[in-house]
Amino acid sequence: MLTLPSVVTHAQAVDTARGLKTQMVSAKTAVVLDATALTQFDSSALALMLACRREALAAGKTFSVHGMPARLSQLALLYGVAELVPSAI
């Protein structure tokens, strides 16, 4: 499981993406982002999740998000991408 930091805004998105990309290599068949620590975010968090999804699917892995904050889920619905960032079971 890959863990998102507590803050993912435009200012942190690039560095966070680099770190996650490195960690994704070690994921065997599934990439699960743990978003439970996420407390401060903007639409960059969604962009980051979508980038992780693209990387995972391109590598033949599944993708899901664990513990997405309700506000971020609402933002995903608003932008029409909620189905692209599914909740982990």
Strand partners of residue 41: 8
Q: How large is the average pLDDT for residues 25-29?
A: 88
The model carries a pTM of: 0.91
The answer to whether residue 80 sits within a structural domain is yes
Mean pLDDT across the chain: 94
For residue 27, being part of any structural domain is answered with yes
Structural domain of 37: 2-84
Q: Is position 34 within any domain?
A: yes
pLDDT at residue 54 above 80?
Answer: yes
pLDDT of residue 76 exceeding 90: yes
Q: What is the CATH number of the domain that holds 70?
A: 3.30.750.24
**How sure is the predictor about 89, in pLDDT bands with cuts at 50, 70 and 90?**
low
Find the helix packing angle between 70-79 and 43-58, rounded to 10°: 80
Residue 86's SS3 state is: coil
Indicate whether 33 belongs to any domain: yes
Q: Does residue 89 sit within a domain?
A: no
Note whether residue 79 is domain-resident: yes
Contact predicate 38/75, CB 8 Å: no
- Which pLDDT score, from 0 to 100, does residue 25 have? 86
pLDDT at position 7 over 80: yes
Total number of domains constituting the chain: 1
Q: In terms of residues, how long is the chain?
A: 89
